[in-house]
Structure 1
């Protein structure tokens, strides 16, 4: 039956009704599909997006025609039906049509307690969501006749009129309320945050209530056929007698389970035919709807009704396992499987995750900077972290903010928590590189380093107390909560193998150590796009030598100290080359200011004076001389390489000697050497001349030939603007978007977390530019730099190696701009591989549809 009126259109959902997702929403279309599959769906009428907009505008005609689609006295429910399930909508309203007369009628057939529970539930929902009264006023512990009478009196007192008794009047106000709720400002903002367009429409479905209250076996339940956490095939769900829908099935409800097991009575035992039908319907839906579905149902006097079906809510690991199995069963093709998994969902498979469970209490929140979860004892410095690791005791390193001297502690810790910082702060970047759960910017905590305590959420935690950090959600728990282990299984590898078949942009990894390189290799990175050599100098044996070099007074003395570092660097690079087995390795020359290698406390300076056998006054004076007001813009990067050339000479020699060694036992190595923080062509000329000289010397000494490529890390705006002339001396340009964003905005990535949320809320920035690439500002510099560089040197390799490189949005930008590859943290490589594949598939599908 199709009805049209001047102001509203609605249609009974039948096999042939003109119902589409774009006109009536996903729920209406899904119900039509269930009807076409011969499932017992209660009679349902769908209101289109246009009808709901008319109702929201106040144009609500008489609904007598709509009501005539249902038997007289039929109780109804109204549910939202937006185009996309993720966009949500107002909550369902049940039992429309309950009134004094219906209460008396149901009391006769099913008993007064049942009738009272139905009526009270409707009054509560109507008062809260339609009349917009305080829900606490109608809250009762147990439904009973006095409570119902009190609720009706309270409604009349507040509204100055009796509770509406006519079903058409009730339905009219329910539809008006739900339509206006969808059009409200807060609802618009909420669904826009979920990706809905501004003009997104809402449909509504009016459905006959399918019992759940009969004298025979009656109730409501939900059933699904995979485990929502793991994706394993198994029947899960809940069922409650004398219930009406999903709202009665919460974790505190007195429910029975579906299948027979040690928990006692089940739906399978009590109503075997209904259970068998549900299993059959699930199998049909899986094949015909091409998805694992969760079915909401009721049973009325033993008769089964299917109210709704939605995609099973699932974890990332369950999503991967499900789509791979659907392909194996020839239900969906590979490309569709790839598109069904959100790239960021893969992070759940790569790291341990908190197992969702009642009783997990969050006492602190911060920025989720590096995914995964870990628990361990609180420690407040790197020394304590290393000591804990030596005892095989997991620990969580807590700092106000981390610095390069915390590297050893971070390697030893199971997780990191900092009071300050943002998505590209030191702790966040290193945490992602190590695959270490990390939360930064947890401003709700206070650290007392002397007392070694952490105070947050009204609780005080001392060193040695156990906490759990969830770097995926930015939450901290007291004690050790249960964790799920990583799931790098056959389904994971199969899905990413399909991704590699279709993606058309390279994916490399940022890897600083052989351990990082092994992870990158295991995740099928196509090489190393950024090796930050300074991280190799923070090991105990190297740090002392590094400090000797810093305190050397002459170039020969500096070279003497660097000669001791040379074999260590050579061994590092040899290890990287051997692990990568002929894949490209891009090594960034030394970048940070020297003061980062010095102690920051008086006690640390005193210990350094003892180690170097120098007066404390000299150590202090030199440390003060090296300190800078803004080290981000000071003596670092190529500036160090030009003023203290011995450092780059040593590193170049280590690279070339490692090249010869690794090439003699494996595939030929062609190292890529990257100069950091360049802003002028002359800087590149000076460094290139010295590197070429070292290469010539090593060739002569070793009697071996080798090639290498020298390029520039573009991280200053001037380098991007002058890329045309810089490209004369560079084989590649790699955009370091961390520093480039800082310098473009004049904004410190370590301090921005203090106000960034306010900026985003007030729409100064659409998103944190350190988290999401600023395509309008920083992106324009990337486009200019790439275009000008390639105009000078057509074969120029262009890439992105900043932390943005692992974001699907950034990969889309780089792919559209014709970049050769992106490089990201090793644990982001799978995410990047899937995101790149999805971009290629969507572009191909768009071209084919033209």
Structure 2
């Protein structure tokens, strides 16, 4: 394209000739635009078009529609002229119209979240020109009605007036099919489709109050700006929040010449994957439809056919279709159009080898001619993610570092959750069978609308087919069931990306949104009824089904071993029970980073003794109660230390305010009075005396130990006696005693001396000793500021980022839910700071404290034990500032191990890894 010298470039051409871009320009051109350019460079047939940059999207949001359209006008007209020349058609022509598609494309794939318009340029004159040119009236009117329907929905916001109502366009289509006595859109003729166009336009005029736009240039600019607007639509914002995609990335707009899959029996559209997106198997697979455009394949309006013969046979078995019926009604592309299949198969192999990753492809066949419309790194399940990387590594196509960087740490958790018990499955009642769109096990109560997915604690979202507007409900639900759609439908692709169990295309279920029922044969299921989904087999069961622990694969072990090879930061667990410790060890924990002792006091005799201590009016009474608690506490600690033998265990002394151990409702207060053999008035008075205006900033943490030193003494004795008794059993332990909520050096000094005095006394009593450390939890901003002084008294720092975030922001964790979602929606915060560490603010406090602490003691052990210890971006931050370890819940340990490895790789090889990462969609002898 010829441009004025020194001009800012906002438009890049691609396809069928000279191409301006490449895959390396993903940040500027978006993933779709960069890959279209790259395929053009590889000589793959790509319809010509152009990409408007992601930077222009940012300009659009800053400067507004009119200004950006004026900035784009000259470049877009030049780009359109280039498309016209390459296609031999003219945009806006009545006789030889050049029709266009307008699609979004962020640098990371966001399937279905933003808007697309196909067949742009159609109007009452060009439809006649298209008929004259092709001699195919049905094709022309079908193309026109598709454009009106899509443009109306995307640009004009024409649609159903309530969630129970059917989309008005779908209602019209159903009426025409019923009147004609046919089942499928493709069975309607040109006369039907022509009248349908006018019916569609009438709906548009009623809902918008204006005639449907006929001018192609008006259509184009409205569509381009609609795509830019869709970057800020609610579902795109929600999706970005889910996947931590920055708003400032923006979306590109891809404008491309249309090629038509709806021109008859030798035309079609399809979606394919170079490997199985559910399992990761090295099997080329996908779906297509003859005489259809791409939206038909993913929307579920028609049952798609399989691309390969092997896939077709497998699908027929799963769907209960006989081989004879399959050959007649559902032939594979391999059988129907063998030459086109051969070209597609060659292309998919080339693209996977070129990108060295599983690809998600979109293609169109126009009267036998093959065109590629898109390639991208395919969304996949966690199991597939792991298997694909290991197989590519084994084949020598990638190295170990690339295999690790191909992983999404947060997805690993999918592999760790329970699956259905085999014995329970055998006796379960199978209601229906669909396609195994996304593996896993899900049990929940039926809901029919995405905005009601929160209605019960566990829900299954049941839809005829899902749409991008259902995203939030799909995320909340435990599983998704659709009556329509194949393995490449919206529900299937999005569910796999979320790691959500999904069964699609269960055609025997009849859904009534109005009645909120599912009818399967003679059975009727209502909203709220329990069902279970097996996303691995596609079966739908009645009621709840028992779960069992997941079985981890050898491929998972390979990835985890690689992570351990490259990471330099240790990973510990937050755990208080032997079972939690066992899970932690199974997932690779290298110690306990947080044992919250208060969790040991909330049941049975432990709770009675704590309450007895609280009700005591003097120190003598408190000590008597604590002496009764001592042997119980010691045994609980022995269980944890025994489970974690030879590994460090950080034990936090009592932290919460005492009011948490006493009931606040009258019924439970009466029960406590009877249990403690005191009057109800005594209980009520104690509750009143413990009441605080802000208990999270009140009498808790080290303040309890300073005002009631007997609590600290009992816990210190229990810890050390437990360790000594295990030593006599031949078990080596490394207890680390953590003083919580330090804000001044003297608080730590007093508590530390108290602990050490008791420990030395126990050593003398037992004539024995063990290694131990005494450190502190840094969770108050003031402690960060004086960390160099605190380090003089501490053997280690452990950052309690939950409270540090709470105090740093001034947000109450218990009340922030009222405003945090609005803050995120309005862009005040990028993410929930209690889930993703705020590196700009709280992170700077942590880094400052780390530097200050090590300025006094360069060997000071430092870790993090807040909820952020299992968040990948937070783990990377911890690595960057030189922490020794992170600690998280047992099920998030593999996430942290993988994130720590990726952080180490990025830090070691910043240039090489940055380039590599841009191509991807996204021995212990003593404690360390």
- Under TM normalisation by the shorter chain, which class is it? 0.7 to 0.9
Q: Write the distance in 2 (CA, Å) between the matches of 1:204 and 1:57.
A: 14
Change (3 A) 1:243 1:637: same
Question: Equivalent residue for 1:348?
Answer: 414
Q: Write the distance in 2 (CA, Å) between the matches of 1:107 and 1:67.
A: 19
Change (3 A) 1:835 1:704: same
Change (3 A) 1:222 1:786: closer
Question: Equivalent residue for 2:64?
Answer: none
Question: Equivalent residue for 1:94?
Answer: 119
Matched, 1:532 2:596: yes
Question: Equivalent residue for 1:30?
Answer: 35
Q: Is the 8 A contact 2:122 2:144 kept in 1?
A: no
Q: Is the 8 A contact 2:863 2:887 kept in 1?
A: yes
Note the alpha carbon deviations across 1:538-593, whole angstroms, 9 max, x for none: 22132222222323344344333323322222222222222222111110111122
Question: Equivalent residue for 1:558?
Answer: 622
Q: Is the 8 A contact 2:103 2:117 kept in 1?
A: yes
5 Å matches for 1:440-839? 486=550, 488-666=552-730, 668-839=732-903
Shift of 1:794: 3.4
Residue of 19, 22, 31 corresponding to 2:21: 19
Question: Equivalent residue for 1:392?
Answer: none
Q: Write the distance in 1 (CA, Å) between the matches of 2:618 and 2:211.
A: 94
Q: Write the distance in 1 (CA, Å) between the matches of 2:338 and 2:105.
A: 35
Q: Write the distance in 1 (CA, Å) between the matches of 2:529 and 2:294.
A: 44
Normalised by the size of structure 2, how large is the TM-score? 0.72
Q: Write the distance in 2 (CA, Å) between the matches of 1:161 and 1:534.
A: 68
Matched, 1:314 2:380: yes
Q: Write the distance in 2 (CA, Å) between the matches of 1:185 and 1:321.
A: 34
Residue of 296, 304, 317 corresponding to 2:362: 296
Change (3 A) 1:43 1:732: closer
Q: Write the distance in 2 (CA, Å) between the matches of 1:762 and 1:222.
A: 36
Note the alpha carbon deviations across 1:386-429, whole angstroms, 9 max, x for none: xxxxxxxxxxxxxxxxxxxxxxxxxxxxx9xxxxxxxxxxxxxx
5 Å matches for 1:159-558? 164=214, 170=216, 172-184=217-229, 187=232, 195=245, 198=248, 200=250, 202=252, 204-214=254-264, 216-258=265-307, 259=309, 260-261=312-313, 262=316, 263=321, 264=326, 265-267=330-332, 268-352=334-418, 361-362=449-450, 364=452, 486=550, 488-558=552-622
Q: Is the 8 A contact 2:103 2:227 kept in 1?
A: no
Change (3 A) 1:144 1:544: same
1:683 counterpart SS class? helix
Q: Is the 8 A contact 1:591 1:637 kept in 2?
A: yes
Q: Write the distance in 2 (CA, Å) between the matches of 1:803 and 1:520.
A: 15
Q: Is the 8 A contact 1:56 1:179 kept in 2?
A: no
Q: Is the 8 A contact 1:28 1:205 kept in 2?
A: no
Q: Write the distance in 2 (CA, Å) between the matches of 1:219 and 1:465.
A: 40
Q: Is the 8 A contact 1:783 1:817 kept in 2?
A: yes
Change (3 A) 1:290 1:694: same
Residue of 59, 72, 86 corresponding to 1:69: 86
Change (3 A) 1:79 1:338: farther
Shift of 1:765: 4.2
Q: Write the distance in 2 (CA, Å) between the matches of 1:178 and 1:527.
A: 56
2:572 counterpart SS class? strand
Q: Is the 8 A contact 1:606 1:616 kept in 2?
A: yes
Note the alpha carbon deviations across 1:419-440, whole angstroms, 9 max, x for none: xxxxxxxxxxxxxxxxxx9xxx
Q: Write the distance in 2 (CA, Å) between the matches of 1:687 and 1:196.
A: 44
Note the alpha carbon deviations across 1:581-614, whole angstroms, 9 max, x for none: 2111110111122222223232322222222323
Q: Write the distance in 1 (CA, Å) between the matches of 2:900 and 2:409.
A: 9
For structure 2, list consecutive stretches of 5 or more residues without a partner in the other structure.
57-67, 90-95, 161-167, 177-191, 419-439, 461-477, 479-499, 501-515, 517-527, 534-541, 915-928
Q: Write the distance in 1 (CA, Å) between the matches of 2:51 and 2:803.
A: 53
1:799 counterpart SS class? strand
Shift of 1:248: 4.7
Shift of 1:733: 1.8
Q: Is the 8 A contact 1:152 1:163 kept in 2?
A: no
Shift of 1:70: 1.4
1:58 counterpart SS class? helix
Matched, 1:46 2:69: no
Residue of 82, 101, 123 corresponding to 1:78: 101
Change (3 A) 1:173 1:51: farther
Q: Write the distance in 2 (CA, Å) between the matches of 1:484 and 1:610.
A: 40
Change (3 A) 1:667 1:485: closer
Change (3 A) 1:565 1:99: same
Shift of 1:801: 1.5
Q: Is the 8 A contact 2:447 2:459 kept in 1?
A: no
Q: Write the distance in 2 (CA, Å) between the matches of 1:786 and 1:652.
A: 27
Change (3 A) 1:795 1:542: same
1:673 counterpart SS class? strand
1:86 counterpart SS class? coil
Q: Write the distance in 2 (CA, Å) between the matches of 1:465 and 1:129.
A: 35
Q: Is the 8 A contact 2:12 2:21 kept in 1?
A: no
Change (3 A) 1:712 1:156: closer
Q: Write the distance in 1 (CA, Å) between the matches of 2:338 and 2:596.
A: 64
Note the alpha carbon deviations across 1:344-380, whole angstroms, 9 max, x for none: 2222222256669997655646699xxxx9689xxxx
Question: Equivalent residue for 1:116?
Answer: 141
Farther off after superposition, 261-270 or 44-53: 44-53
For structure 1, list consecutive stretches of 5 or more residues without a partner in the other structure.
377-414, 416-436, 438-456, 458-463, 470-477
Note the alpha carbon deviations across 1:654-674, whole angstroms, 9 max, x for none: 211221233344453231101
Q: Write the distance in 1 (CA, Å) between the matches of 2:750 and 2:616.
A: 23
Q: Write the distance in 2 (CA, Å) between the matches of 1:502 and 1:610.
A: 58
Q: Write the distance in 1 (CA, Å) between the matches of 2:205 and 2:723.
A: 86
Q: Write the distance in 1 (CA, Å) between the matches of 2:100 and 2:729.
A: 73
The CA RMSD over aligned residues, in Å, is 4.2
2:909 counterpart SS class? helix
Normalised by the size of structure 1, how large is the TM-score? 0.78
5 Å matches for 1:106-145? 106=131, 111-126=136-151, 132=156, 134=158, 140-141=172-173, 142=176, 143-145=192-194
Q: Write the distance in 2 (CA, Å) between the matches of 1:367 and 1:587.
A: 39
Q: Is the 8 A contact 1:15 1:32 kept in 2?
A: no
Q: Write the distance in 1 (CA, Å) between the matches of 2:253 and 2:451.
A: 40
Q: Write the distance in 2 (CA, Å) between the matches of 1:547 and 1:482.
A: 37
2:756 counterpart SS class? helix
Change (3 A) 1:468 1:635: farther
Shift of 1:220: 1.9
1:629 counterpart SS class? coil
Q: Write the distance in 2 (CA, Å) between the matches of 1:625 and 1:465.
A: 47
